[in-house]
């Protein structure tokens, strides 16, 4: 009897978490993010970025360019692996390739937006900034350690990076409007969250539906859990419809655009609009609050439709829709399973365990976060709901960031990919550095959260980077001198 009770508790935990997630977080942040990722893949010619990665490009351009490439070009391993292999084998060498590899999973648009929407903008920024600094740092360290092997690449040609292609202006505007749409849906500022007009829809029973839903998915706000509102239930329904229409309209988009394609797109727009209004059901009907968000989203959608219709070519439109759909198809099911599993696990884990292990911002806590990240493997983006679970169970934000940095970098999958291309020794060295840097990132960010002044934190960070840069510079200089001496004695 107890076992049955326990199992049903687990099941409810999973389903409740899933429903709350879909209703609350997915829509305004994740749905536009998928379309932005699709637009980046389809509309940005890879040559715009990769031409800065050739061997003849100075370091101060090639490393940031590698990070940028990771951020805008690579959302799935489909793009990461060939780009990584390309940069490494024919490009500037191991350093920028590692920077690219480090930055891509942690700071691509989907990961950042999702982190910002679910956990908070501060953590998303910390993730972006620290990944950038440390990605470049680790890349340079790796390039130095394996300097001798790297020299072999100098014989490779530079052809691949010579192509120049710039992005079409209208495609760029299209991408920017997509980003604006995302921001207007997710930013929590007064202008957007205030409501400007209210009207009442004469539908009765919405309040009863809401009570029913709260009973169905019981939640405890004090534990950071969320319930499902009536609006949320409608949105989940719309999501299912989008899925069905997309399956019919986007799966075969390479043959032709069908009515289903337009239905799917219309539903996506409708869903975003429904998600952006505020609702409050009562006995007399349903109050609809038209927020700034709503107008922002509406404006964004109108501009996007015009641009897509007039500005983009049919091929571009098709590529965009196809890439976005492919991301959704690839990532969304994993996310659903992941979120469900997190809901189940949450029932079992006792907050005290997390409290003792990683409730404080110290080396032990940060190491625990990193080690968990290294040894657990989660599919793309699932690390975010897991992080949120830890947060609500009392994990400190410092160790949380350490975990968030380490987990996507060091999945088993990525280690395997890396070792087939650069060899075992190099990949394990890389793993060790990532573990070290993630721990440091957690400590520094944690100190800031704990109230250390921003100047002090910046000082720590600059000091650390300065020592790193200094050592790199010294070693590099000595090597150059040695090489020059060898050359002189050979002559």
Partner 1 sequence: MLTIKVLGSGCPNCKKLEALTRQAVEGLAIEAEVIKVTDYNNIMAYNIMSTPALVINEKLVSYGRIPSPAEITTFLTNALASE
Residue 376, CA atoms < 13 Å, CB-side half-sphere: 18
Tell me the C-alpha distance between 387 and 422, whole Å.
31
CB closer to partner 1, 35 vs 437: 35
Among 330, 341, 419, 476, which residue interacts with partner 1 (rule: CB under 8 A)?
Answer: 330
Torsion, CA 240, CA 246, CA 247, CA 248, rounded to 10:
120
CB of 267 to partner 1, least distance (A): 23
Q: What 3-state DSSP class applies to 283? A: coil
Should residue 409 be labelled a site residue for partner 1 when binding is judged by CB under 8 A? no
Q: What residues numbered 55-94 form the site for partner 1, per CB under 8 A?
A: 73, 76-79, 81-83, 85-86, 89-90
Integer-rounded Cα radius of gyration of the chain:
25
CB of 235 to partner 1, least distance (A): 27
Residue 392, CA atoms < 13 Å, CB-side half-sphere: 20
> x-or-dash pattern for partner 1, window 249-288, by CB under 8 A?
-----xx---------------------------------
Q: To which H or E segment does residue 201 belong?
A: strand 195-201
Tell me the C-alpha distance between 110 and 238, whole Å.
21
Give ∠ CA 239-245-246 in degrees, rounded to 5: 85
Contact indicator for 366, 325 with CB cutoff of 8 Å: no
> x-or-dash pattern for partner 1, window 138-157, by CB under 8 A?
-------------------x
CB of 50 to partner 1, least distance (A): 5
All residues at 6 or more sequence positions from 279 whose CB lies less than 8 Å from its CB, including other chains? 206, 229, 230, 231, 286, 287, 288, 289
Should residue 315 be labelled a site residue for partner 1 when binding is judged by CB under 8 A? yes
Tell me the C-alpha distance between 361 and 397, whole Å.
8
CB closer to partner 1, 330 vs 476: 330
CB of 319 to partner 1, least distance (A): 6
Q: Which residues pair with 278 in a beta bridge?
A: 289
CB closer to partner 1, 127 vs 318: 318
Piece of the chain touching partner 1 by CB under 8 A; list 127-135, 230-238, 316-324, 426-434: 316-324
Alpha-carbon distance values, 426 to 70, 146, 364 (Å)? 20, 8, 27
Among 17, 21, 31, 46, which residue interacts with partner 1 (rule: CB under 8 A)?
Answer: 46
Piece of the chain touching partner 1 by CB under 8 A; list 28-36, 211-219, 317-325, 401-409: 317-325
CB closer to partner 1, 88 vs 260: 88
CB closer to partner 1, 412 vs 458: 412
Locus of tokens 């679910």: 118
CB of 311 to partner 1, least distance (A): 19
Should residue 337 be labelled a site residue for partner 1 when binding is judged by CB under 8 A? no
Q: What residues numbered 419-478 form the site for partner 1, per CB under 8 A?
A: 420-421
CB closer to partner 1, 326 vs 396: 326
CB closer to partner 1, 89 vs 280: 89
The pair of three-digit structure tokens given for residue 397, joined into one six-digit string: 């934000």
Torsion, CA 125, CA 182, CA 325, CA 240, rounded to 10:
110
CB of 243 to partner 1, least distance (A): 17
Tell me the C-alpha distance between 37 and 109, whole Å.
7
Tell me the C-alpha distance between 181 and 121, whole Å.
17
Residues making contact with partner 1 (CB under 8 A): 42, 46-47, 50, 73, 76-79, 81-83, 85-86, 89-90, 157, 159-160, 254-255, 315, 318-319, 322, 326, 329-330, 420-421
């Amino acid at each position: 009897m107890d076992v049955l009770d326990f199992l049903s508790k687990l099941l409810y935990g999973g389903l409740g978490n899933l429903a709350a997630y879909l209703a609350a977080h997915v829509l305004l942040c994740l749905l536009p993010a998928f379309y932005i990722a699709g637009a980046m893949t389809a509309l940005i010619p890879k040559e715009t970025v990769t031409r800065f990665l050739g061997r003849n490009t100075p370091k101060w351009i090639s490393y940031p360019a590698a990070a940028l490439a990771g951020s805008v070009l690579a959302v799935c391993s489909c793009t990461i692996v060939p780009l990584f292999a390309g940069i490494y084998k024919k490009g500037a060498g191991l350093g920028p390739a590692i920077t690219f590899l480090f930055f891509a999973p942690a700071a691509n648009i989907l990961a950042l937006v999702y982190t910002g929407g679910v956990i908070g903008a501060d953590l998303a920024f910390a993730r972006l900034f620290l990944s950038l600094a440390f990605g470049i740092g680790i890349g340079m360290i790796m390039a130095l350690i394996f300097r001798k092997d790297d020299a072999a690449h100098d014989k490779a040609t530079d052809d691949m990076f010579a192509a120049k292609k710039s992005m079409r202006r209208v495609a760029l505007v299209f991408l920017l409007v997509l980003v604006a749409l995302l921001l207007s849906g997710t930013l929590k500022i007064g202008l957007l969250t205030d409501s400007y007009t209210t009207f009442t829809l004469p539908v009765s029973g919405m309040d009863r539906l809401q009570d029913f839903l709260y009973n169905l998915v019981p939640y405890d706000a004090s534990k950071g859990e969320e319930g499902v509102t009536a609006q949320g239930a409608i949105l989940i329904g719309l999501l299912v419809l989008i899925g069905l229409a997309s399956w019919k309209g986007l799966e075969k988009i390479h043959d032709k655009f069908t009515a289903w394609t337009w239905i799917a797109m219309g539903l996506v727009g409708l869903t975003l609009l429904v998600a952006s209004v505020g609702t409050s059901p009562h006995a007399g009907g349903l109050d609809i609050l038209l927020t700034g968000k709503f107008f922002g989203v509406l404006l964004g959608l109108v501009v996007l439709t015009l641009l897509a219709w007039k500005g983009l070519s049919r091929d571009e439109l098709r590529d965009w829709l196809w890439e976005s759909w492919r991301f959704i198809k690839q990532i969304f099911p994993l996310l659903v399973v992941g979120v469900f599993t997190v809901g189940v696990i949450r029932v079992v884990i006792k907050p005290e365990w997390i409290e003792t292990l990683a409730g404080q911002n110290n080396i032990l806590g940060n190491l625990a976060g990193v080690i968990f990240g290294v040894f657990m493997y989660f599919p793309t983006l699932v690390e975010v709901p897991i992080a949120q679970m830890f947060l609500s169970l009392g994990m400190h934000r410092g160790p949380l960031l350490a975990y968030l940095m380490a987990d996507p970098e060091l999945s088993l999958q990525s280690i395997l990919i890396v070792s087939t291309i650069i060899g075992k020794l190099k990949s394990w060295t890389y793993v060790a550095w990532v573990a070290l840097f993630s721990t440091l990132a957690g400590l520094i960010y944690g100190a800031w959260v704990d109230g250390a002044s921003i100047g002090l934190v910046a000082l720590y960070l600059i000091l650390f980077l300065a020592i790193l840069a200094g050592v790199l510079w010294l070693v590099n200089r000595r090597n150059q001198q040695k090489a020059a001496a060898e050359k002189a004695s050979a002559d």
